[in-house]
Each structure stands twice: as C-alpha cells, then as structure tokens.
C-alpha cells in the first residue's frame, strides 16, 4: 500500500522558482507563448498543481528557430575557440551541482521519481554529461589526406584535410522519464560542437528544463544559442517540420519517432532517434543467483519501469527457474510502494493518468491472455501500480512483445544458449540486453550475438557519459553520449588546396 509523507520544506530558492510565472526562453529573453496560453504541470504522487507553464506552439517554435538561426549564422558562436567553449560547458556543470538539491527536488516533484534517485542519478549524471562534453572541444580533429587527383599533371601537389563542423540549428525533443538528463544528453554535445538549439521538453515534466535554462543564461550561453519552448506535441511537430531546422534529435516513443522521420523529409534534416525497447535480461544456470535477482529487479523497476532500456523480458535457465522465481517474488513483494519524497519508496507513481491507463491495460491484457501474476498484477491507489512479474506467458502475448513502461516484467524459462539468444533477438526493438553468468567465455559469446546497442554483463542500467547509447532495429537511429554524440552533432568537410 502507498503511504503519504509530509513534504519536506522546500528550499527558499525552489519556492521562489515555483512561485514565479514560468516563461519560455527565446533569444535570451523569458517570454510568454504568443497565444498567451498555458498548461498546468502536476505532482503525480498527490495531484497537486506545481506550476503553469506557457503552451508554446508553431509561432513560438518559429520565433525560437529564427533566434537559433541568427545566433548560428550571424554571431561568432560557431567559431568560438575550444578553450572558451570548454570553460562554458564546465561552468554549466558546476552551476548544476551548485543547485543540485533544487534540481533533485524539482525533478522528483514533477516526475514522481524517488528523491534519492533524482539526486544520485539524474542530477549528478546531468552535471557529469556537461563535464564530459566540456573536455571535447579541444579534441575534435580532422585528418590530413593523400589524394591522387588523377586528372592533375604528375608534378602537381595538393594539401587535403578534413574539418568537423557543426550541423547548425538543432531541434531537440525530449520525454518525461528522465527530464533533466535527457536535456543534458541533447544540449551538452550540441554546445560542445558549436550548434544552436531549440529544446522542447515533455508536457508532463517541463520544470527542470526551465531551471536549466536559467543556469545556461547565468553561465553565459549567448542569446539565441539555446531556446527552450514548453508545450504539447504540436510544438514538437512544428519543430520537426520546420524548414530552417538542420537536425532533429528525439527521445520518446517509436510511434512519434516515425512521425518525426516523416516530418523531417521536407528539408531532409538530419535525424537521430532514441526510441523504445523491450530488453531481454538473461540469467544463466551458472549465475550468482543473489546478484542476478537484485539486478533483474533493478532492471525492470528503476524509475518504476519508465526507462527505455528497462530489462522487461527476463529469461531464466530451466534448471534454476523455480528457485529464481521464488526469490524474485519474495523480493519484489517487499519493494516499498510510495511517493518520491519518502526515502523508503522504490516504486513511485507513474507519471500521468495516461501512463497509468496504459500500464493497467497491459496488466489486464496479460491476465486475459492467460499469463499468471507471480507477484503484483494490480493497480494501487492514485497513479501507483504494483510491481509485477508474469509467468506462464507465450511469445505472442502483448506483455512479451510490447513496451509497457511500467514496473512489469515477464519471466520465461529456457534450456540452451542458442535458444535463448534467438528468443532474446526476436523483437522489433534492440536497445539493451543484460546477461548473468560467471563463465567469461559465455559472457563474450552471448554479448557479441545479442542485437542490442548496450549489453550489460552481471550489471544493468550501466549508463555513462563516455559510453555510446542507442538502439538496433526500431529502437532508433544513431548513438548518443561518448564520442558518438560529437559525430552526431558535426558534419565533415574536406578541403583541398592546390599548392
Ligand atoms: P511521446 O509522445 O513519444 O513523447 C516524447 C516527446 O515527443 C514529448 O516531448 C512529446 O510532447 C513530443 N511529441 C509528441 N507528439 C509529437 C509529434 N507528433 N511530433 C514531435 N514531437 C511530439 O511519449 P509519451 O506519449 O509521453 O509516452 C508514450 C510511450 O512512449 C510510453 O508509454 C513509452 O512506451 C514510450 N516512451 C519512451 C521513452 C524513451 O525514453 N525512449 C520516453 C518516454 C516514453 P508531449 O509531451 O507534449 O506529448
Ligand atoms: Mg505523448
């Protein structure tokens, strides 16, 4: 059962932030939506209205894109020398850390996630992402090439080299599950490479992006370089269609990802996509069972399962299936369900009524199709659902095939390595995969055969600014983080000089 906990006193600075009228950031100015419309964002644990924010739409996106265009084309931003850019990114990282408590509390309030996770993971990782990309500007290199130039006379000489240059105006559309971190993954590499940005946060969780906007201004990001427009899907659609946007980077559902690809066709803007998943987590007979049980639970319950890389298809070797399931059920049953501001809470509310309906729909569909809830299986009060593991599933069930985005997993027995690799790979997705074994050869063999952008051995959710992240198949296009994001936000030019 859920419990209620007195909200801790909010810091005066956070109270001040929440009390002020929220504005969108265009060309360095905080303004209302052109229409004057607003929408309300809520605490999903209590239903309390937290703030009203501008409902930006196509006209605001247009203003923001013009500002980003101007900043890119007519200022020296794209040509800042590396040390200056590095100092700016480093300063943003430091300023995020200086407001870490406010960011963590705001993220927990707006999204519902545990305050401790928001502090230890979301906020620290966001600061780390800016720190990591602060190191890149001085390391971006081209090559010196040796062309043969077949039409030139034998004694002609050439000097050819390549340069990595920014792509231009980047539209960035982010989801509600890790609101600040997704803003950091998008903005940090874009700034490190000299692009300009129009960011569209998710309508459920706009607040930490707006606080980040204040910090970007304070750090000295020039006017128009980062613009932040809160709003609904229509604002995201306007951004992905806009003919003056050079690249769109999106994280969210596969369904909207496909719409973005279609909308991008008008001016053939570059597109990178980080979409859904239905990731396998495989427990071999030789695994350390205790750590595998813990890792499997963390795999599908982190952020109440609202994580694109969640390990929701659990495959367990038949020789340990019953024993493993018994331990899994016992520990899942013991997970505390409650609001994010209770330090005991592991399972916190889902982000919205829409998400609750979606997850409850899958719970019902699973039961109706004949799956058995080993543990959980029902909604709790408010936007809370019980952490759930289904057994007795067949591969055609929606709970085995589709992304649920709630604390729900299926546990499936297997008998051989080839069989489980094939089953794990039978998915339209390919974002992540976990495997649990103490056999080093098996770990390498299986890791190399799984169709997934990230494979984790004897661990899960092992994300890091230095490690590329993204998906095979319909889990997306391109990779974010690591050096890969530098490639994502630059384009290569070759220059040839006849000497
Ligand atoms: P979503 O619709 O894909 O939302 C992601 C972002 O895209 C939001 O900023 C959203 O704005 C915006 N958007 C919506 N329609 C758009 C359009 N036509 N063109 C451009 N941008 C658009 O995700 P959702 O509806 O919030 O969640 C639905 C499901 O998506 C979840 O249950 C989960 O399965 C999946 N999901 C995946 C991730 C991930 O990390 N890969 C994250 C979130 C959700 P609004 O907020 O105003 O809709
Ligand atoms: Mg949506």
Provide DSSP, 300-338. HHGGGG--TT-EEEEEEEGGGHHHHHHHHHHHHHTSPB-
Question: Which tokens in the block code for residue 104?
Answer: 């963590």
Residue 12, Cβ neighbours under 10 Å: how many?
Answer: 9
User: What are the two backbone dihedrals, phi and then psi, of residue 15, each rounded to the nearest 5 degrees?
Assistant: -60, -40
Q: Is 237 in the pocket of ligand 1 (CB under 6 A)?
A: yes
Closest ligand 1 atom, CA of 263? Answer: 19
Distance (Å) from CA 148 to ligand 2 centroid: 53
Distance between CA atoms of residues 291 and 473, nearest Å: 30
Distance between CA atoms of residues 4 and 314, nearest Å: 32
Q: Is 279 in the pocket of ligand 1 (CB under 6 A)?
A: no
Q: Is 260 in the pocket of ligand 1 (CB under 6 A)?
A: yes
Q: Which ligand is nearest to the CA of 238?
A: 1
Beta bridge partners of 324: none
For ligand 1, atom 44, the nearest C-alpha belongs to: 252
Residue to probe by mutation, ligand 1, list 175, 308, 358, most atoms within 8 Å of CB: 175
| pLDDT number for residue 213 | 98
DSSP state of 78: G
| pLDDT number for residue 11 | 84
- Measured between alpha carbons, how far is residue 353 from residues 47, 349, 362, 385 in Å? 10, 10, 14, 12
Residue 279, Cβ neighbours under 10 Å: how many?
Answer: 33
User: Among 38, 34, 30, which Cα is nearest to 54's?
Assistant: 38
Q: Is 233 in the pocket of ligand 1 (CB under 6 A)?
A: yes
Q: Do the Cβ atoms of 408 and 312 come closer than 8 Å?
A: yes
List, in order, residues 6 or more apart from 357 with CB less than 8 Å away. none
Distance (Å) from CA 250 to ligand 1 centroid: 9
List, in order, residues 6 or more apart from 427 with CB less than 8 Å away. 278, 280, 313, 401, 451, 473
Question: Which tokens in the block code for residue 420?
Answer: 């489980």
User: Among 280, 233, 294, 308, which Cα is nearest to 410's?
Assistant: 280
Q: Which ligand is nearest to the CA of 259?
A: 1
Distance between CA atoms of residues 103 and 245, nearest Å: 30
Distance (Å) from CA 257 to ligand 2 centroid: 11
Residue to probe by mutation, ligand 1, list 58, 230, 233, 357, most atoms within 8 Å of CB: 233
In the chain, % helix, strand, coil (3-state, to 5) comes to: 40, 20, 35
| pLDDT number for residue 8 | 59
Q: Is 308 in the pocket of ligand 1 (CB under 6 A)?
A: yes
Q: Which ligand is nearest to the CA of 174?
A: 1
**Per-residue model confidence as pLDDT tens digits over 85-141:** 999 999 999 999 999 999 999 999 999 999 999 999 999 999 999 999 999 999 999
Distance between CA atoms of residues 146 and 401, nearest Å: 50
Distance between CA atoms of residues 126 and 185, nearest Å: 7
Is beta strand 29-31 parallel, antiparallel or unpaired with respect to 38-42? unpaired
Closest ligand 1 atom, CA of 173? Answer: 9
Closest ligand 1 atom, CA of 201? Answer: 9
Closest ligand 1 atom, CA of 175? Answer: 5
Q: Is 177 in the pocket of ligand 1 (CB under 6 A)?
A: yes
Distance (Å) from CA 334 to ligand 1 centroid: 31
Distance (Å) from CA 294 to ligand 1 centroid: 29
- Measured between alpha carbons, how far is residue 463 from residues 10, 89, 313, 456 in Å? 30, 20, 19, 10
For ligand 1, atom 47, the nearest C-alpha belongs to: 232
User: DSSP 3-state assignment of 294?
Assistant: helix
Distance between CA atoms of residues 453 and 477, nearest Å: 11
For ligand 1, atom 19, the nearest C-alpha belongs to: 237
Question: Which tokens in the block code for residue 268?
Answer: 């053939």
Distance (Å) from CA 54 to ligand 1 centroid: 19
* pTM (two decimals): 0.98
| pLDDT number for residue 6 | 60
Residue 77, Cβ neighbours under 10 Å: how many?
Answer: 20
Question: Which tokens in the block code for residue 221?
Answer: 């990001």
Question: Which tokens in the block code for residue 4?
Answer: 């209620």
State the DSSP H helix or E strand holding residue 26, giving kind and residue range, or none if neither: strand 24-26
Listing DSSP states for 265-279 in one string gives: TTTT-EEEEE----E
For ligand 1, atom 35, the nearest C-alpha belongs to: 253
DSSP state of 222: P
For ligand 1, atom 40, the nearest C-alpha belongs to: 308
Question: Which tokens in the block code for residue 400?
Answer: 């085995």
DSSP state of 362: H
CA-CA-CA-CA torsion sign (379, 381, 385, 386): negative
Distance (Å) from CA 199 to ligand 1 centroid: 14
DSSP state of 345: -
Q: Which ligand is nearest to the CA of 233?
A: 1
Low-confidence ranges of the chain (pLDDT < 50): 1
For the chain, give the number of residues: 499
Residue 121, Cβ neighbours under 10 Å: how many?
Answer: 20
Distance between CA atoms of residues 25 and 31, nearest Å: 6
Residue to probe by mutation, ligand 1, list 251, 252, 463, most atoms within 8 Å of CB: 252
Q: Is 241 in the pocket of ligand 1 (CB under 6 A)?
A: no
Characterize 441-474 residue by residue with b for buried, 16 or more Cβ atoms within 10 angstroms of its Cβ, and e for exposed.
eebeebeeebbbbbbbbbebbebebeebbbbbbb
Closest ligand 1 atom, CA of 358? Answer: 32
User: DSSP 3-state assignment of 105?
Assistant: helix
| pLDDT number for residue 10 | 81
State the DSSP H helix or E strand holding residue 236, giving kind and residue range, or none if neither: helix 233-241
Distance (Å) from CA 256 to ligand 1 centroid: 6
Distance (Å) from CA 343 to ligand 2 centroid: 30
Q: Is 276 in the pocket of ligand 1 (CB under 6 A)?
A: yes
Distance between CA atoms of residues 303 and 498, nearest Å: 58
User: Among 137, 238, 251, which Cα is nearest to 195's?
Assistant: 137
Catalytic sites, residue numbers: 274, 308
Q: Which ligand is nearest to the CA of 307?
A: 1
């Amino acid at each position: 059962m859920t419990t209620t906990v007195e909200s801790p006193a909010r810091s005066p600075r956070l109270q001040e932030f929440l009390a002020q009228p929220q504005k969108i950031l265009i060309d360095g100015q905080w303004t209302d939506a052109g229409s004057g419309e607003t929408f309300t964002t809520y605490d999903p644990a209590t239903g309390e209205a937290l703030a009203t924010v501008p409902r930006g739409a196509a006209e605001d996106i247009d203003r923001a894109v013009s500002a980003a265009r101007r900043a890119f084309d007519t200022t020296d931003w794209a040509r800042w020398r590396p040390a200056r850019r590095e100092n700016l990114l480093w300063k943003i990282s430091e300023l995020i850390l200086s407001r870490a408590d406010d960011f963590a509390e705001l993220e927990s309030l707006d999204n519902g996630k545990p305050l401790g996770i928001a502090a230890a993971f979301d906020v620290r990782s966001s600061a780390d992402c800016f720190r990591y990309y602060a190191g890149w500007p001085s390391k971006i290199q081209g090559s010196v090439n040796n062309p043969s130039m077949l039409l030139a006379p034998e004694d002609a000489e050439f000097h050819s080299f390549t340069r990595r240059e920014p792509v231009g105006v980047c539209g960035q559309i982010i989801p509600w599950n890790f609101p600040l971190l997704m803003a950091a993954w998008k903005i940090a590499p874009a700034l490190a490479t000299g692009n300009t940005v129009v960011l569209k946060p998710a309508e459920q969780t706009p607040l930490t992006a707006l606080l980040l906007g204040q910090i970007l201004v304070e750090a000295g990001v020039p006017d128009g370089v980062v613009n932040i427009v809160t709003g609904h899907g229509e604002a995201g659609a306007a951004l992905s269609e806009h003919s003056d946007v050079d690249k769109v980077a999106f994280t969210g559902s596969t369904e909207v990802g496909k719409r973005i690809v279609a909308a991008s066709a008008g001016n053939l803007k570059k597109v990178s996509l980080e979409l859904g998943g239905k990731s396998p987590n495989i427990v071999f007979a030789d695994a350390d069972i205790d750590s595998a049980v813990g890792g499997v639970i963390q795999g599908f319950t982190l952020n109440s399962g609202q994580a694109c890389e969640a390990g929701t298809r659990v495959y367990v070797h038949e020789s340990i299936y019953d024993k493993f399931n018994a331990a899994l059920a016992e520990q899942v049953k013991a997970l505390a369900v409650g609001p994010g501001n209770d330090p005991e809470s592991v399972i916190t509310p889902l982000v919205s009524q829409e998400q609750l309906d979606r997850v409850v729909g899958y719970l019902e569909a699973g039961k109706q199709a004949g799956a058995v809830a080993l543990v959980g299986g029902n909604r709790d009060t408010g936007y809370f659902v019980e952490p759930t593991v289904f057994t007795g599933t067949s591969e055609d069930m929606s709970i085995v095939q589709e992304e649920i985005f709630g604390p729900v997993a299926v546990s499936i027995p297997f008998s051989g390595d080839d069989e489980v690799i094939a089953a794990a790979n039978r998915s339209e997705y390919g974002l992540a995969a976990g495997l649990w074994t103490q056999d080093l050869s098996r770990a390498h063999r299986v890791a190399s055969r799984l169709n997934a952008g990230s494979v984790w051995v004897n661990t899960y959710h092992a994300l890091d600014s230095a490690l590329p992240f993204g998906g095979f198949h319909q889990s997306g296009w391109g990779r974010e983080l690591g050096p890969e994001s530098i490639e994502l936000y630059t384009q290569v030019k070759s220059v040839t000089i006849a000497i």
